[in-house]
Each structure stands twice: as structure tokens, then as C-alpha cells.
A and B are shown apart, each in its own frame.
Chain A
Amino acid sequence: MGFLSSLSRWPVLQQIRKGDVHALRETARSPRSEQLRPRTEGADRVVQSICPYCAVGCGQLVYVKDEKILDIEGDPDSPISEGCLCPKGAATFQLVTGSHRVQRVLHRRPHGTEWEEVPLDWALEQVAQRVKRTREETWEETTKEGRRVHRTMGIAHLGGATLDNEENYLIKKLFTALGIVQVENQARI
């Protein structure tokens, strides 16, 4: 049996049986070629997403295996994009997995010449304290004309067009409650 099966894999016999006289077709396929499958078949899950670049809102499929992203491509179900992506959308995989991404919180001291890695918790607490201090130093209850404004002009914000609605909502809600009016984003720019 073993001998017969090895014999049947003998290229010359395969060539004769399959009529592949030039040995350019199946008979020449390496085991790797035989077993080749799209890597997405091995995904643990496919997550539906939306392209993060422009505002067309193309559908994306994110293939995940072992908690790592394997591939990101267009979602054919989307009535907007029907599986297509532009070059930016098609490069999303590199955007989210690329080595350019900084993964630690960095701090530059006043007058410093380098970044220093700092713990996330520490940095968040420092920012909270800076907000409190600046807010108190610059609080403006009334204007020079005596009009009530109840705000700080000492703190400002920029950004939001690339963020989620839920994130913008929390930013606007928190900052307004803090009396910060200078909240802006790219929509105006």
C-alpha cells in the first residue's frame, strides 16, 4: 500500500496520468502550494468595523486570530462600499498594527530636552491636577462689563473629527461642566 501510494506520487506517473506532459501544472505543485489557503480562514472571529479615514464610512472586516489582527478588508455587506476600500482604507492594517505606534505614556518636563516614560495612572492624575490648578487660577465668574460668564478661558481643547460620537459627547459634557468653552475640532478647520 505504502509502496503503491509513493509510486502514484512519482512525478512521471502523475504526469502521464494527468496528461501534464510539460510538468507545469499539478504535478509541479509543491506541498506548500497544495496546502495554500487564505490566512483569513484561520481567523477566530471576524469583527465588523468602519473605516477610520474619510467620512464616506466604508465597511471593514477585521479578522482576528489569537487576539492579533490578521487582515482588514472591505465589508461586502455594506450598501455604502460593497467591499471596496480606497488606498487609505486598504492600508488600515498598517495603521493599527504598525511599529510607528507609541505604546507608553510620555512626559516632557518644562524646559526638558527629552521625553520620559511615565505610568499612565500618574500622568492622568497629573493632568487632573493641572486642570484643577489652571481652572482655579483663571476662573472668570463675570466679565469686566459685569456679565456672568462662569467659565475659564485658561484651558482649551482641539480634536474630535477622528473620534467616536460617544467620545465627543463625554468631552463636550465634561469640559462644558468644567467651564471650558474653547472646545474645537477640525470641522471648523
Chain B
Amino acid sequence: MAECHPVGFRWVMAAKSRGAKVIHVDPRFTRTSAVADLHVPIRAGSDIAFLGGLIRHVIETERYFLEYVLHYTNAPALICEDFKDTEDLDGLFSGWNEKDGQYDPASWAYEGTDVGPAAGNREHFTGQPYSERGTQSGAERFDFTLQHPRCVFQIVKRHFSRYTPELVEEVCGVPRELFLQVAEAVCANSGRERTTAFCYAVGWTQHSTGVQYIRSASILQLLLGNVGRPGGGIMALRGHASIQGSTDIPTLYDILPGYLPMPKDKHDTSFEQYVKLNGSPSGWWSEFPKYAVSLLKAWFGAAATKENGWRFDDLPRLSGDHSHMTTVSAMADGEVKGYFLMGENPTVGSMHGALHRKAMRKLDWLVVRDFALTESAEFWRDAPEIERGEVRPEDVPTEVFFFPAATHTEKDGSFTNTQRLLQWHHKAVEPPGDCRSELHFTYHLGRRLKELYAGSMEPSDQGLLTLTWDYPVSGESEEPSAEAVLQEINGFRVADRQPVGQFTDLKDDGSTACGCWIYCGSYAKGVNQTARRKPGREQPCVALEWGWAWPANRHMLYNRASADPEGRPWSERKRYVWWDEEKKHWTGHDTPDFIADRPPSYRPGKDAKGIDTLAGDNPFVMQGDGLGWLYAPSGLADGPLPTHYEPQEGVVENFLYGQQCNPGRMEWLRRDNPYHRPWDDPRFPCLITTYRLTEHHTAGGMSRWLTWLSELQPEMFCEVSPQLAREKGLTNGGWATITTARGEIEARVLVTERIPPLRIKGRRIQQIGLPYHWGSKGRVRGDAANELISFVADPNVSIQESKALTGAIEAGRRSRGRRVVTSGPLVPALSSGGHERDLPVVGHKPVGPHGISESRTQEGD
């Protein structure tokens, strides 16, 4: 956190000075470790075992917050009799469908019922959508003594029972004494009077089982009563100014603004069907139709009517996974013709740069918008394969347009920070030359396309032609008004275009329009709430009058849980939101995240529907049953509980299960994307992890061109332990070559104790640390670490695995810039005999469950 979010870490240091204990668990000793009370080196890729160990410790030593667990989580709920745990099936849960190569989650459900999750796979592409089986409001059978063998609590307890301190030591390389110190500190700092917070970044997410890392932390925090309470929670530290915003208002394939799912071809055949499958009869998602109709009204205006299903049929349909790696894979096969890159540099920032470049060479046209000519903009003339003569620029048919971008100081707009806080930045000066905002580019592209298609009667063009696109422009460059766009995002009454105040004002009858329901209120009362700047020192510390947090200016989600079931603060010390019995409403330091006037004593009747199903002590309002899920009966593709699986490329066998890797992971079985042996690959004995440095920003587009930052970290380097340096003859300040089956790169060597070898079951595992900021352009240059990484992904969110893989290192500048994509195999093949990633039942997974096919083409043919 000190490395990549130094100013966020200001508050950790403030807490530390007031007595908080800071624990840092990381494969490396970083700037965060330097000031931590306790630093725990862990083997990259083994965190579920570590967190599972903590969960077990909390349960076995009975340190969970019983009252919280009983009332606010699904611990007492009974699960289906058909459910089988990974403990029973050697690493698989019940429901594995051999034919489809994925889970059917039916057996994971609550006994006799099915409940919609707040997020995640709210339906499956190929499975029967849950809601069709009759989603109900919650579990129907409970055991509040938590003793029933099929209650969630006992299932969780049994699932993690083998995650002992001894196992943690073996799997993670963390000595048990150190692990127990963490466990004791976490327990001692949880409960009524104290809370513990977890902060993470992509070190937890970029794994083939990344979502389950976060689930592990959720289970732990729910058991300890650390969710929805001040000083608690699980904090995602995101790395871009508006990466949260680009998820809320997604430039992502699978969702529409406000986390409404994109329609799927198989099931969402009409608007009614879409609402039926994706809404929920209970919990807050029961409001789904209001948000969906209001979005379509915002997009299609008067053309969207109840009769035409609000023009729902103008939305394209998904037929599978269309995420980044799938797109690039299809592009490499010649299936994608045109590509827009807006402020992103995938040949450096994304995995397997060479495969990206191959894909881009197959395009008819590419549009790049950035501040400078990045590696992705110049892939056709500046790349290792071009230097090697394997590709000649003259042979690259792609037409490239480069549009210089305006900076944040040259345009109005809002960023959403990592705490969901929208903050407006005002334009300070005009952009120079032809530099323009993305707002300008997109607006004028849309305007021109509407002109080009004017008069078309083709059904394919009606969505574009009816799309509302009337934004006022100003100035010589005809810059559209960002504030007008925010007004549409906020929403308005269709009749008089007056802004709506909050999402509870939205209607499903077409009388309201709203571009993103969770941002409803950001322009309440006709005022740009995101531009509010009441100084922090002039208001209480929650600072409700600085910017605007979604939803409804709530700074902490699920904060109803900061009060006990009767609505009283758990303790004076941790007072945050509570029920005011006199005034009969919720109040506190923050905007209460609950139905304002619903008393703690409220219990839904049998016929209750929609949000009326939420009891007065159900804090987790987005869940169908209003409870925190220790066990997820729906929503996940790879199991209701986190399970330790090894990475796609590991250094050791899975000590817990016969199933080596996440059975649901996505693989791209292509000749240009070879994988190493699952473990014990003699060609690639070291563990590689990648990361960022304080001095640079992601792929470097905003840092490598700046002298003030470049001089601070001027070259690509690798970090190795003194032992590894001795073994391999690496010298500090000298050169090393690092190789995987995808490619070879060179880097300067930094020999340091800060990246220690770890002892795993008696074996010493060497780790290589690689920052990934450099490329062939900019003021400072170096090979890109991501050239080493393969295409492989988590099945829930399609995130790649770049935080744990294997590789080899040798001294000197031995790299010849080879890439498997254009140079052919770099290393001789090995038989994988005895080294299987999957149990036989999983191993017969058909190729292409995610629309991924065997590579049909090789470069040049």
C-alpha cells in the first residue's frame, strides 16, 4: 500500500501512531513492510491457504463474533443435501458437469430454495438460470445452534479444517509462529470494541482463482464482525484514477451501467425475460426493472416505449465470454477487424505482449488515443520481432490512427476513486494542438456515424439512429459538455427533464430516465454534487460534503451492520450508524445504508415482496436474503467456498487436493500460448511475481516519459535473493535474462534480502520479482515483464494470472528477443506424465467452453 498508494497509506500511518498494529503479508519486503509491525513473507499464489488458516483459527478457537454471525450472516442456513465439499471429492465440489466443463451450482443452494447473489454470475451462460428455478427470498431452514452438519457454519468449519498452522507453513512457507501471531492479532483486534481492516490490490486478484481470494477475506471478516463497521472492511486499492468508475459505468463487456447484466443470447430473448431472469423477487435487486427501464429511456429517449420493450432488442447479446483475452485471441485468428485503444497500452500493460502484437497485425485498422506514441501505437515498427527481422513493417497491413489525448487539466469530468467517491476535476486550460478529450472523440464519432447512417431502415441501425445524442457543445473545438452527460447519468424526469434526487425516485413506467442508477443523486437538485469541495477540516471526518459517493452518498456500504440487531451501536467506540427510536429512523455519521424508516424490529410477512422482504436486521440489502454470505449458494463459477488451488504454473504439487488448479479456470490452448508443466518443471524452476513501483504508473504511459519519475527508476530490473544470485552467478547491477515458454527478457539485477527464498515442504523455492513498467519507448526503456506471462484466467471475472507463474533466470544479456509467437518454441517440450492439472473427470473438459479455440493460424501462414 505504501508502494502504490502512498497518500492512502498516510491514514495507515496515522492509525499506527494511535496504536494500530500494521501487518504486511507479501512475498517481498516492500516500503510497506519497512514501517509495518509485522511482515510475513508468503509464497506468491498461496494466499487462500493462508486466509483459510485464519478462518480455521477463528472458528477453532471460537473467536468469531457470535451475535454478528448469527444475525447478519448465513451461518445458520441449511444447505442442500446433495452438496459435496472439496474435502469429499479431492478438490472438486459437487455439480461438476463433465460434458460442459463447468459446474452446475444447483447442489450448492440453500435447502429447498435458491437465492440471487448481489453480484457475480447472476445467471450462467449454459446452465439453467437460477431465477427460472424460482428464486426465493432466502434460506428456509436454519439451525441457530450452528450444530446441524448441513448448516453453513459447519460446512465452512469442515471445509477449512485441514488449513492448520502446519499446513499454512507447508503451503505458504510461513513459519507457524509467524502465522499464529497474525491470527492472534486479527482476533484480538476484532469484536465489539475493535475492528480489523484488510487492504489488497492486484496481488490478490491476478490469479486463476482471484475472486476466491477476496471471498476468503470476506468470510474471515464476516466471522469477525468486521464488515459494515468503522475501521473494518476489505479495501480494494485500485490503481487508476477512474478504474472504479469504469466498472460502475462499465467499459466492460458483460455489464451495463450500474451492474445491470448485458443481455445473453440464450435466455434474454425479450425485455420481460431479461427482467425476470436478472431481477430478484427479494432484496434490493427487486428494484431491477426500474433501473433497466430508466437506462433504456436515457439511451433511446422517446423511441423507447413499453410496447417496444424499451428498445431492449437494440442491445447486442452476449453468447459467451467476450473479455479481453478472448477478444485478443480471436483477433490473432483474424476475427476482429477494428480496435480502439483509449488510454491503454496492452502490449506492455497486458499479459503476453507478443500475442497482442500478433493480434494487432491482423487488424484492418487500429485507433490509439494517448498522450505519446506508446508501444501499442507503434507495434508495427518497434517490437522485438521487428528488431529480429521476423516481421517487417511493410508487411503489416494494419492502418493506424493516432489521436493525441487531452489531459485531466484540459477537460471537465469526474473520476470515481477507490472508495466509490466521485470527484469532479475542472478544466484549467485548453488542450494544445489537436489534443482532445475522449468525450470529444466519442461524441463526434457518434455524431458522424449517425449522419452516415441517416435514413437507413436496416434493423441493425435503428439502435444507433434512435440513440439520444444531444449534448451541448462549446468553443471552437465543439467540446461536448461533460456536465450535461453527468445530468443524464444522474437521471431526470422525462416529462420536464428535472433531475431526479435519488434512485428510489426511479420508475419502471418510462417516466424517468437514468444512465446509471447507482450514480443517481450525483446531480441532485440540479447541482453537480461531485464538485462539492467543503474543506475536510470544516466537517466531520466522514466528510459527506466533499464530492459524492455512490450510492446515495454513502461512504461505507452495509453500514447497518455497525449497529447491533436492535439498532444500537455495538460499542460507543465503534459508533457509526444507529436507529433513532424517537424519530423512528436510521441516523449516524454516514448516510445509513438501509431503508431509512425500517425499524430493527421489522419482520417481513409471508407475502412480502421486493424490498419488503428485508428484515430490520438484514444489513446486506443487495443480497436476496439480506445476509452476509459465509458460503455463497449462488453467483460463483468455481465453488461456494474458496479452496486452495495452485496457479496454472506452480512450483509445487497441491498438498491438499488431487485437483491441482482451479477446475473452472479459463485456458487458451494455442500454440502461441504454451504453458509450463503444472509443477516441478525443470526448465522453469523459479517462481515469478510481478508488481508496480511507487515511481511509475502501470504500463508507464504516464510516467516513463517524465524525467522526474524516470530518473527515480530508470531501468527494468529484477529482484533476486543473494542465494539465487550466488547459484546463478548474478551480480548486483549486472544483467540477467529471464525466460518463460512465451518469451525471454533481460533486466538489470538487484540483489536483495527483500525477496527471500521460501521453504516449502523442506524445499527451498526461489522467487524472482519483476516490476512491469518498461517498454521500448519513453525516456527510460527496458523489456516488458508481461511478455513472459500467458493467457490464463479466473472463471468469474476473466482476470489473468500475473502474480504467480514460473520461469528461469540466468546471468548476462542472453536474450535474443525471442517470442514464441514469431520465433517458435523457445524450449524443448516436456511430457506432462504424472503432472496433471486436473482430475480425470475435469481433464476431459472440452476445448472451448469460453469460446476459446485452438490456434488456427501461426504468424505467416
Residues of A within 8 A of B (CB): 45, 47-60, 62, 64, 67-69, 72, 76-82, 84-92, 94-96, 98, 100-113, 115, 120, 123-132, 134-135, 137-139, 141, 143, 147-174, 176-189
Least CB distance, A109 to chain B, in whole angstroms: 6
Least CB distance, B82 to chain A, in whole angstroms: 30
Contacts A/B (CB < 8 Å), 30 sampled:
A51-B241, A57-B547, A80-B421, A80-B536, A102-B404, A103-B404, A103-B433, A106-B373, A123-B401, A127-B365, A131-B445, A132-B449, A134-B337, A134-B338, A160-B251, A161-B239, A163-B246, A165-B416, A169-B515, A170-B439, A170-B485, A173-B299, A174-B449, A177-B464, A181-B318, A184-B251, A184-B252, A185-B252, A188-B252, A189-B800
Q: Which of A50, A86, A107, A183 contacts B401 (CB 8 A)?
A: A107
Closest-by-CB residue of A relative to B299 is A173
Count A/B pairs, Cβ under 8 Å: 478
Proximity string of chain B (437-449) to chain A, C-beta cutoff 8 Å, 1 when within and 0 when not:
1110111111011
Which residues of A are found within 8 Å of B485, using beta-carbon distances? 166, 169-170
Which listed segment binds A: B69-77, B261-269, B853-861? B261-269
Q: Nearest 8 A-B pairs (CB), nearest first?
A: A79-B536, A164-B413, A103-B433, A57-B417, A160-B251, A159-B342, A151-B316, A161-B240
The answer to whether A161 and B411 touch across the interface, beta carbons within 8 angstroms, is no
B765 close to A (CB within 8 Å): no
Which residues of B are found within 8 Å of A67, using beta-carbon distances? 429-430
- Complex Cα spacing A131 to B461, Å: 13
The answer to whether B489 and A138 touch across the interface, beta carbons within 8 angstroms, is no
The answer to whether B414 and A164 touch across the interface, beta carbons within 8 angstroms, is yes
Which residues of A are found within 8 Å of B516, using beta-carbon distances? 169
- Complex Cα spacing A127 to B367, Å: 8
Q: Which of B419, B445, B515 contacts A174 (CB 8 A)?
A: B445
Which residues of A are found within 8 Å of B733, using beta-carbon distances? none
Q: Which of A120, A124, A154, A181 contacts B322 (CB 8 A)?
A: A181
Known contacts A49-B428, A166-B414, A170-B446; is-contact A182 B10 (Cβ 8 Å): no
The answer to whether A54 and B239 touch across the interface, beta carbons within 8 angstroms, is yes
B655 close to A (CB within 8 Å): no
The answer to whether B444 and A87 touch across the interface, beta carbons within 8 angstroms, is no
The answer to whether A160 and B343 touch across the interface, beta carbons within 8 angstroms, is yes
The answer to whether B434 and A120 touch across the interface, beta carbons within 8 angstroms, is yes
B315 close to A (CB within 8 Å): yes
B399 close to A (CB within 8 Å): yes
The answer to whether A156 and B435 touch across the interface, beta carbons within 8 angstroms, is no
Which residues of A are found within 8 Å of B416, using beta-carbon distances? 165
Which residues of A are found within 8 Å of B543, using beta-carbon distances? 79
B572 close to A (CB within 8 Å): no
Known contacts A107-B402, A169-B485; is-contact A164 B708 (Cβ 8 Å): no
Which residues of A are found within 8 Å of B533, using beta-carbon distances? 48, 77
- Complex Cα spacing A111 to B515, Å: 41
- Complex Cα spacing A53 to B425, Å: 13
- Complex Cα spacing A166 to B528, Å: 13
Which residues of B are found within 8 Å of A108, using beta-carbon distances? 380, 398-402
Known contacts A57-B423, A184-B324; is-contact A86 B316 (Cβ 8 Å): no
Q: Which of B350, B438, B488 contacts A163 (CB 8 A)?
A: B438
Least CB distance, A148 to chain B, in whole angstroms: 7
The answer to whether B432 and A188 touch across the interface, beta carbons within 8 angstroms, is no
The answer to whether A111 and B318 touch across the interface, beta carbons within 8 angstroms, is no
Q: Which of B4, B338, B397, B797 contacts A54 (CB 8 A)?
A: B4
Which listed segment binds A: B138-146, B699-707, B824-832? B699-707
B349 close to A (CB within 8 Å): yes
Q: Which of B369, B399, B469, B705 contacts A100 (CB 8 A)?
A: B705
Q: Which of B238, B265, B443, B695 contacts A147 (CB 8 A)?
A: B265
The answer to whether A81 and B709 touch across the interface, beta carbons within 8 angstroms, is no
Please provide the chain B residues from 306 to 353 with a CB less than 8 Å away from any CB of chain A in the complex. Answer: 313-319, 322-324, 327, 330-331, 335-344, 346, 349-351
Q: Which of B10, B237, B435, B444 contacts A103 (CB 8 A)?
A: B435
B148 close to A (CB within 8 Å): no
Which residues of B are found within 8 Å of A45, using beta-carbon distances? 428
The answer to whether B702 and A168 touch across the interface, beta carbons within 8 angstroms, is no
Given contacts A120-B436, A188-B798, A189-B350, 14 further A-B pairs with CB under 8 A are: A50-B408, A87-B694, A88-B702, A89-B7, A124-B441, A148-B265, A149-B319, A156-B331, A161-B246, A162-B702, A172-B256, A176-B463, A188-B324, A189-B346
Least CB distance, A79 to chain B, in whole angstroms: 3
Proximity string of chain B (507-533) to chain A, C-beta cutoff 8 Å, 1 when within and 0 when not:
000000001100100000000000001
Among the interface residues A60, A88, A132, which one has the most CB atoms of the partner chain B within 10 A? A88
The answer to whether B449 and A178 touch across the interface, beta carbons within 8 angstroms, is yes
Least CB distance, A39 to chain B, in whole angstroms: 16
Least CB distance, B780 to chain A, in whole angstroms: 12
- Complex Cα spacing A153 to B369, Å: 21
Which residues of A are found within 8 Å of B410, using beta-carbon distances? 96
How many B residues touch the partner, as a band? 35 or more
B602 close to A (CB within 8 Å): no
Proximity string of chain B (81-97) to chain A, C-beta cutoff 8 Å, 1 when within and 0 when not:
00000000000000000
The answer to whether B243 and A86 touch across the interface, beta carbons within 8 angstroms, is no
The answer to whether A149 and B265 touch across the interface, beta carbons within 8 angstroms, is yes
Among the interface residues A77, A96, A123, which one has the most CB atoms of the partner chain B within 10 A? A96
The answer to whether B253 and A77 touch across the interface, beta carbons within 8 angstroms, is no
Which residues of A are found within 8 Å of B414, using beta-carbon distances? 164-166
The answer to whether A176 and B316 touch across the interface, beta carbons within 8 angstroms, is yes
B541 close to A (CB within 8 Å): yes
- Complex Cα spacing A72 to B237, Å: 24
Which residues of A are found within 8 Å of B798, using beta-carbon distances? 188
Which residues of B are found within 8 Å of A79, using beta-carbon distances? 535-537, 539, 541, 543, 546
Closest-by-CB residue of A relative to B380 is A108
- Complex Cα spacing A179 to B262, Å: 12
Closest-by-CB residue of A relative to B244 is A55
Which listed segment binds A: B212-220, B388-396, B743-751? B388-396
Least CB distance, A67 to chain B, in whole angstroms: 6
Known contacts A79-B546, A159-B251, A172-B256; is-contact A58 B399 (Cβ 8 Å): no
Known contacts A54-B5, A141-B460, A158-B340; is-contact A100 B372 (Cβ 8 Å): yes
Closest-by-CB residue of A relative to B802 is A189
- Complex Cα spacing A100 to B377, Å: 14
- Complex Cα spacing A65 to B566, Å: 58
Known contacts A94-B706, A111-B396, A187-B243; is-contact A72 B409 (Cβ 8 Å): yes
Which residues of B are found within 8 Å of A159, using beta-carbon distances? 251, 340-344, 369
Which residues of B are found within 8 Å of A80, using beta-carbon distances? 7, 417, 421, 536, 546
- Complex Cα spacing A59 to B694, Å: 18
The answer to whether B242 and A91 touch across the interface, beta carbons within 8 angstroms, is no
- Complex Cα spacing A49 to B410, Å: 10
B598 close to A (CB within 8 Å): no
Least CB distance, B373 to chain A, in whole angstroms: 6
Closest-by-CB residue of A relative to B530 is A165
Known contacts A82-B536, A188-B324; is-contact A147 B317 (Cβ 8 Å): yes
- Complex Cα spacing A177 to B243, Å: 23
Known contacts A54-B240, A55-B418, A183-B251; is-contact A91 B703 (Cβ 8 Å): yes
Q: Which of A57, A76, A105, A185 contacts B418 (CB 8 A)?
A: A57
Least CB distance, A65 to chain B, in whole angstroms: 10
Which residues of A are found within 8 Å of B422, using beta-carbon distances? 165
The answer to whether B407 and A52 touch across the interface, beta carbons within 8 angstroms, is yes
Least CB distance, A133 to chain B, in whole angstroms: 9
Least CB distance, B204 to chain A, in whole angstroms: 15
Among the interface residues B239, B314, B436, which one has the most CB atoms of the partner chain A within 10 A? B239
Which residues of A are found within 8 Å of B452, using beta-carbon distances? 128-129, 132
- Complex Cα spacing A81 to B381, Å: 42
B371 close to A (CB within 8 Å): yes
B248 close to A (CB within 8 Å): yes
Among the interface residues B248, B367, B469, B543, which one has the most CB atoms of the partner chain A within 10 A? B367
Least CB distance, A188 to chain B, in whole angstroms: 6
Among the interface residues B323, B337, B417, which one has the most CB atoms of the partner chain A within 10 A? B337
The answer to whether B317 and A150 touch across the interface, beta carbons within 8 angstroms, is yes
